Structure 1
Amino acid sequence: MSVLHSDSGRFFIPDDLGYKMEWDEEDSIDHQLLILQKADAFASQNRLKEALDLFSVAISYGPMRPEQLSTLVDCVLRNFKVAYSTETDKTTRSKKHSDREDPGDKFCCPGCYRFLSEPVTVTCGHTYCKRCVQRELYSKCKLCNNDMGTRCGSGHPHRTNVILSGLLEKWFPDETKVSKVILEIEDLSRRGCYEEALLLSSNMIESDPGEVLGRICRAEAYAGLKQYNRALKDLEELCLQSPSWPEVYFQKGKILQKMGCTNKSLQVLLQCLALDGDYTLAKKEVEKIVYDLVSPDCEKVKEGLQEMAQGSSPRPRSKAMEADGQAKAPLLPHSSHHKERCDAPSPWESEEQSGLSWATLLRAPGRLGGSGAEEGLKRVSSAPQLGRQERGRVPLKRKLSFSETEPSAVHRGGNKYKKQGDTGAAVDCTPAPCREAPADLVEASDFECPLCMRLFYEPVTTPCGHTFCRSCLERCLDHMTQCPLCKDNLKEYLATRNYSITQFLDGLIKTYLPEPHLERHKMHVEETEEFSDLTKSVPMFVCTMAYPTVPCPLHVFEPRYRLMIRRCMESGTKRFGMCISDPQKGFADYGCMLQIRSMHFFPDGRSVVDTVGWKRFQVLRRGMRDGYNIADIEFLEDAKVESEQGLVKLRELHDQVYKQACAWFQNLKSRFRGQILQHFGPMPERETDIQATPNGPAWCWWLLAVLPVDPRYQLSVLSMMSLRERLAKIQQILAYLQSIHNE
């Protein structure tokens, strides 16, 4: 691909797909967007050289956000993974998770595989340690790949799960104590109390040399005190002990960045992303670094390059550089104001050893419009690119680790690590056995819902950290928008309606209390089956007249009807009865079953329920359940006309009344017709077989619903089981309305 060219103030990018982008120099905003789109396309196709070219030009048009280079970072990472995996898979695959807890341990955090301390339940229902959630290490859940996010409806988005926290502290007091100390150390570091954090972390390591998090905390404290070499020493030991733990590499990359070793920091951060591509913080840092690398006006980098170029020793020139006629520049300058420096050579210092040199990336074009910019673009276009096998790319052959250049190189053997010249005992990295809850400490009373006082069934944790049965919580939120225990505001949580089951707690109940859970499950099934009977104890909505096949939208806001509708949905029937009110009996003797088609919820818990009429019924017995009416019912069907002569007369009457109905509707004022059509839809077509359904022709019910008639009169028509009588009644109504219109 040919890169940008200038010609009298107009620029274009010839496209290998057969078209070109062209613009005037003045219109820079739209042009930057076009260039970014094209650059993203090249990066998605793994064409790094072209993508680099265009990203550099896009930045020259104006400031950008580092996250806009996300596709470029993904492209670099894909190529890095190819080289990284071939070199390190053999040494780390057999040791995966050996540096951490056994991932099969149910009491381990799914993010860091450490003990599940200060458990926090996220929106998807999975539980992580508070440390992982608080640091926002991952954007997606490791178990279900859903967005982690923060819990809605609470001023404290990282509140611990009260039930689980109490259980873990009861079952594993030693691990809980250590976890609290680690959280205390990290809190000290966040507040800038590095000396206190260093003292606590050092004491922890002395008492337990194998505590990995203690070393990370100490490294952070060292970095806060600008003792970078000591911090790197701790992290180097962790890289050997924990070769597959991304956080170790992230912390190391951050410290290298503070030391001014940006290129080495980038490599280590890429190594972190190669282990976990969803490590959010590492990706953000890589985006910032790459943004600086491709920025054409990064004067600090340019000056540093010149200084390093003057003091660097001669190096072999690559073919790409010889063709360009330019001497190779060093990778990145070191910051001169740091107390400690990173003097080890970078594994990427030779273009012949790697598919990409960051020095080449730094020679991005300057501002458009001059020969210098065009020359810079030519130099970029001549750089070798990753992912192009036909260009003879040589994969990375050296382990991208700072430990390569340190004198304390290690010898790897089996699943133990030993420093050269160290006569002490090797570090045993054999994973600890899976934890099990002490049998004598498992009590069913610890798993009781505070609302129903029964064993949790489908436990749900609110943003404030309290847990309830899902059905219990939903019933409670029907009446108020506060947590039943702490009165915390749950309006936002109610609005999302994301009542995800707390998987960890549900798993503990099934594992340690199988018999009580089975009994609770049977009880729930029996209750659900009772709700699913369409003739016994059918829920009744006392509101308005409803008819078969006719839409009946409802606004549900009363707590009792919220519960009723929810039970209809959970039982799977999605049906309930609709009757009009009766002063003596509570509701009428006849009604229509409605079928739920869809529901739309409002943030405050109200809902609009779209229903349509299904079957008519007669009430046999009445009752109450949890505040709403129920009834035993019997469905109604039209009596069919068997004789041929009777069927002919019935059809004649049907056609006559249908014509009268059409004429009445057409004679209505246009605004009335519009309102009817908007609410009930168009009038159904005349049916060929008028006795095909138990309820008769659909147009009769549509007409009955729109006629301006007293509901009691409509109810009498609804209860009729003879189509002839129903047609006669409708005919009388139409004749009466016509006479009024003539007057």
Structure 2
Amino acid sequence: MSLPPPVEDTAEERSAFFIGADTVSEEEEEEDHHQLILQKANALASENCLKEAIDWFSVAMRYGPVRPEQLSTFADCILRNFKRKAAGPDAGSVQSLNAGGSCEGDDAFDCPNCHSFLGEAVTIACGHTYCKRCIQRRLLSKCKLCSDAVSGQEKANVTLCGLLDKWFPDELTKSKTLCKVDELCERKRYQEAVSLATEVIQSDPESTAVARLSRAEAYMALKQYRLALEDTEFCPESSCSAEALFWKAMVLHEMGQVDESLQVFLHCLAVDEDFPRAKRQVEKILCDLLSPADENVKVGLRETAQNTSPHLRSKTLVSDAQGSPQSPVHRQHQVRASSAHHHLDSQEKRWESLERPVLSRAHSLRMNGSNCGEGLKRVCSAPQLGDQEKASLLKRKLSVSDTEPCVVYRGSSKHKKQGVVKGSKQQVAKAKTYRAVPEGLLDPNDLECSLCMRLFYEPVTTPCGHTFCKNCLERCLDHTPQCPLCKESLKEYLASRRYMVTTVLDSLIKQYLSQEYTERTKTHLEETRELSDLTKNVPIFVCTMAYPTVPCPLHVFEPRYRLMIRRCMEAGTRQFGMCINDPQKGFVDNGCMLIIRSVHFLPDGRSVVDTIGGKRFRVLSRGMKDGYSTADIEHLEDTRVEGSEELQRLQELHDAVYEQARVWFQNLKIRFHNQILQHFGPMPEREADIQATPNGPACCWWLLAVLPIDPRYQLSVLSMTSLKERLVKIQHILTYLQSIPNN
């Protein structure tokens, strides 16, 4: 089968190919420079250089789109400046709000974020518990107590919700009603949300603050801005101050008052810097303030200002930018030539070329007489501006917001000015009244683990919302990575191995069931003390031969041995016995203790345990505990040689065996030599005192581990208490191995 003749490209096709290649190269080059400018802007923002950062972010907007989340560092810089100004004479309002948000008056049933009743309690990964409303409405990104991340996907704590329903049914009903108002807003049934929130406000003055904020959201969606602002300003000094400021800022933004809303958003973050929704809104506003109005402006800037971008500065281009406009074709050739030359520059030179944002694209347009800047977006009813004027205006606005951290809505009524403060003080006073579990409703059975049927000890709540004793849960996860009650997958939870104690339940048990807790603790300590005895009921790992001073890495996957290793770590001994199998007895009569040096857990619950041999022992009796073998043991020690002549002969025997072993090891094939080094390490150094330890010289045990002999023979040497007999046995083995031709 003949192939068709090759088709040669025409001149037009080759030209189009190279032009396309140049275009791709220019686009990649431009994207690269866009990222460099953003890095420069973020670096300036992180160093608190606010005005310079504004200049560079304006330049970045000329190169391409900037997403709001890319302005996170910039928003942090603005917030730091805002706080610095607020720390001066005008900071009284911010300080008072922070004081109002204090949790000094909270009890165990208060949400650490909004300081209201927990209601439908949700326990997060760190073990702290929040109300369902704060979690669902994303009112926090970090735990207020330990700064741990909050995913927002956590489920309600089943045990705690059941207790709150039993102890405080009326308050739980109110909390559920407030959550229903939020659900109506999510379903965009705003009028129903307003009606339900109004009923709550009229029937329960204690829930006024939270209900008004939910109603404010509904009013805002219905474009009833005056009513929404009244609700947000009803209790500015209450414990909900950060959320109140957030919704006030949202209403102002919806009304088109962007300047005022930005100030209030910053005020909200000054009160609670971990308010994620406020942070996102600040980033969006900053992005809008710095962005052009439409893509046509960006295209025009890209076509007419390529030759004056900061990263392509050369003497020719700068002089061209200062002179008369050039044709697009001539300018395109200049950009390509400069780009080719630019590829030879280092990263440092490119950063140096970004030191003067005055040569931004918009600046180039003004120097060349271009009128493309007229397509820019209006900034808060300001005249249409270029990027530098726009940046200057933003600087002025930010400087104003720096000095005026507290914004008061001008339309506030006399009722709000006079009556709100009094009401908020009363609410703060009521918040300091501690709740107590009603007498007669406290039943220890309600706080029992469903696995061990005993009082919770170190209660841990899973992501699915069920609570167990920490030890009980770990034992269940040894067998299967599922919740013991609902069978939901806990693979990720197992992989993280963060079994944090649920603080609310733990404190309730200690406070209300102190006697039962004392007895439960005593039982736990007794069980732990039993595990700490290294002669009685010692856990036995039935697996392989182990020797003193010799490393013994283990792969632990069986549930019974997972439990055994964990108990050794928790008891603090970090030791267990190792024996080989015996068909009749279960395991042999002699073994070696292993000392755990480290444990590396795998995501599925298995672990790699790094151990090293310790003392030898003899088994006195055997037993079982939770699936793994145990034994009462006695430790073995070498019999010391006292006479000088006998000690001298022993030393000579040791030296001869050591030299014989060294020669054997050096003459091994390189493959076997490297395998021994990898698994057991190098041969131990000759010891000055061969009777310094109860187990004798380490070289004997290293040789016993690496020599290719039957485990039963190794076991007989392990059980010897005479160093002389052990050396003679090893000498016989070495002599036999050296007599075999090395093929």
Shorter-chain TM-score bucket reads: 0.7 to 0.9
Task: Answer yes or no: is 1:159 the counterpart of 2:159.
Answer: no
Compared with structure 1, are the counterparts of its residues 639 and 613 closer, same or farther at alpha carbon in structure 2 (3 Å cutoff)?
A: same
Give CA-to-partner distance per residue, 1:682-722, whole Å, 9 cap, x none: 22222222222211111211111111100000001111111
* Aligned AA (1:512): Y
Give CA-to-partner distance per residue, 1:457-481, whole Å, 9 cap, x none: 0001111111110111111111222
Compute the displacement of 1:39 (Å): 2.2
Compared with structure 1, are the counterparts of its residues 431 and 364 closer, same or farther at alpha carbon in structure 2 (3 Å cutoff)?
A: farther
Compared with structure 1, are the counterparts of its residues 96 and 46 closer, same or farther at alpha carbon in structure 2 (3 Å cutoff)?
A: closer
| Alpha-carbon distance in structure 1 between the residues aligned to 2:631 and 2:497 | 30
Say which of 265, 276, 285 aligns to 2:281.
Answer: 285
Aligned partner of 1:168 in structure 2 is 164
Compute the displacement of 1:64 (Å): 2.6
The TM-score with structure 2 as length reference comes to 0.81
Q: Quick check: 2:531–2:537 contact (8 Å CA) kept in 1?
A: yes
The correspondence of residues 43-192 of structure 1 with structure 2, limited to 5 A, is: 43-86=45-88, 89-91=91-93, 93=95, 103-149=105-151, 157-192=153-188
Q: Quick check: 2:115–2:239 contact (8 Å CA) kept in 1?
A: no
Greater CA drift, 67-76 or 208-217: 208-217
Aligned partner of 1:199 in structure 2 is 195
The correspondence of residues 375-454 of structure 1 with structure 2, limited to 5 A, is: 398=404, 400-408=406-414, 410-411=416-417, 416=422, 429-432=428-431, 433-454=433-454
Task: Give SS of 2:234's match.
Answer: helix
Task: Give SS of 1:595's match.
Answer: strand
Q: Quick check: 1:121–1:127 contact (8 Å CA) kept in 2?
A: yes
Compared with structure 1, are the counterparts of its residues 215 and 520 closer, same or farther at alpha carbon in structure 2 (3 Å cutoff)?
A: same
| Alpha-carbon distance in structure 2 between the residues aligned to 1:381 and 1:265 | 18
| Alpha-carbon distance in structure 2 between the residues aligned to 1:629 and 1:198 | 66
Give CA-to-partner distance per residue, 1:563-588, whole Å, 9 cap, x none: 11110010011100000011221111
Q: Quick check: 2:267–2:405 contact (8 Å CA) kept in 1?
A: no
Compute the displacement of 1:279 (Å): 0.7
Compared with structure 1, are the counterparts of its residues 373 and 251 closer, same or farther at alpha carbon in structure 2 (3 Å cutoff)?
A: farther
Compared with structure 1, are the counterparts of its residues 514 and 254 closer, same or farther at alpha carbon in structure 2 (3 Å cutoff)?
A: same
Q: Quick check: 2:81–2:402 contact (8 Å CA) kept in 1?
A: no
| Alpha-carbon distance in structure 2 between the residues aligned to 1:399 and 1:742 | 86
Q: Quick check: 1:364–1:377 contact (8 Å CA) kept in 2?
A: no
| Alpha-carbon distance in structure 2 between the residues aligned to 1:25 and 1:578 | 65
Aligned partner of 2:543 in structure 1 is 543
Compared with structure 1, are the counterparts of its residues 573 and 412 closer, same or farther at alpha carbon in structure 2 (3 Å cutoff)?
A: farther
Compute the displacement of 1:400 (Å): 3.0
Task: Give SS of 2:500's match.
Answer: coil
Task: Give SS of 2:440's match.
Answer: helix
Task: Give SS of 1:179's match.
Answer: helix
Give CA-to-partner distance per residue, 1:621-678, whole Å, 9 cap, x none: 1111111111111111112222222222222211211121122122222111222211
| Alpha-carbon distance in structure 2 between the residues aligned to 1:257 and 1:162 | 39
Compared with structure 1, are the counterparts of its residues 102 and 116 closer, same or farther at alpha carbon in structure 2 (3 Å cutoff)?
A: farther
| Alpha-carbon distance in structure 2 between the residues aligned to 1:130 and 1:456 | 24
Compute the displacement of 1:596 (Å): 0.8
Greater CA drift, 707-716 or 614-623: 614-623
Q: Quick check: 2:664–2:738 contact (8 Å CA) kept in 1?
A: yes
Compute the displacement of 1:414 (Å): 11
Q: Quick check: 1:101–1:431 contact (8 Å CA) kept in 2?
A: no
The correspondence of residues 225-624 of structure 1 with structure 2, limited to 5 A, is: 225-239=222-236, 241-242=237-238, 245-296=241-292, 366-367=361-362, 369-372=364-367, 398=404, 400-408=406-414, 410-411=416-417, 416=422, 429-432=428-431, 433-624=433-624
Compute the displacement of 1:29 (Å): 2.9
Compute the displacement of 1:372 (Å): 4.7
| Alpha-carbon distance in structure 2 between the residues aligned to 1:680 and 1:730 | 18
| Alpha-carbon distance in structure 1 between the residues aligned to 2:613 and 2:397 | 62
Greater CA drift, 96-105 or 399-408: 96-105
Compared with structure 1, are the counterparts of its residues 379 and 456 closer, same or farther at alpha carbon in structure 2 (3 Å cutoff)?
A: same
Compute the displacement of 1:283 (Å): 0.6
Compute the displacement of 1:401 (Å): 2.2
Compute the displacement of 1:81 (Å): 1.5
Compared with structure 1, are the counterparts of its residues 434 and 298 closer, same or farther at alpha carbon in structure 2 (3 Å cutoff)?
A: farther
Q: Quick check: 1:56–1:364 contact (8 Å CA) kept in 2?
A: no
Q: Quick check: 1:657–1:727 contact (8 Å CA) kept in 2?
A: yes
Q: How many residues end up aligned between the 2 structures?
A: 643
| Alpha-carbon distance in structure 2 between the residues aligned to 1:528 and 1:427 | 51
Q: Quick check: 2:234–2:420 contact (8 Å CA) kept in 1?
A: no
Q: Quick check: 2:216–2:231 contact (8 Å CA) kept in 1?
A: yes
Task: Give SS of 1:465's match.
Answer: coil
The TM-score with structure 1 as length reference comes to 0.81
Compared with structure 1, are the counterparts of its residues 59 and 659 closer, same or farther at alpha carbon in structure 2 (3 Å cutoff)?
A: farther
Give CA-to-partner distance per residue, 1:134-191, whole Å, 9 cap, x none: 22221211111122235xxxxxx33211110011111111110100101111111101
Greater CA drift, 665-674 or 36-45: 36-45
Aligned partner of 1:334 in structure 2 is none
Compared with structure 1, are the counterparts of its residues 409 and 28 closer, same or farther at alpha carbon in structure 2 (3 Å cutoff)?
A: farther
| Alpha-carbon distance in structure 2 between the residues aligned to 1:669 and 1:586 | 38
Aligned partner of 2:18 in structure 1 is none
| Alpha-carbon distance in structure 2 between the residues aligned to 1:373 and 1:130 | 58
Give CA-to-partner distance per residue, 1:429-467, whole Å, 9 cap, x none: 533312111122111111111111111000011111111
Aligned partner of 1:220 in structure 2 is 217
| Alpha-carbon distance in structure 2 between the residues aligned to 1:228 and 1:564 | 64
Q: Quick check: 1:188–1:194 contact (8 Å CA) kept in 2?
A: yes
Q: CA RMSD, aligned part only? A: 3.0
Give CA-to-partner distance per residue, 1:90-147, whole Å, 9 cap, x none: 3565676658986432210001111001101100000111111122221211111122
Give CA-to-partner distance per residue, 1:352-393, whole Å, 9 cap, x none: xxxxxxxxxxx99545744459996775897896999xxxx8
Compared with structure 1, are the counterparts of its residues 567 and 368 closer, same or farther at alpha carbon in structure 2 (3 Å cutoff)?
A: farther
| Alpha-carbon distance in structure 2 between the residues aligned to 1:248 and 1:135 | 13
Aligned partner of 1:357 in structure 2 is none
* Aligned AA (1:229): R
Q: Quick check: 1:411–1:417 contact (8 Å CA) kept in 2?
A: no
* Aligned AA (1:189): C
- 5+ residue gaps, structure 1, are 1-23, 151-156, 303-362, 419-425
* Aligned AA (2:121): P
Q: Quick check: 2:103–2:112 contact (8 Å CA) kept in 1?
A: no
* Aligned AA (1:112): C
Greater CA drift, 48-57 or 220-229: 220-229
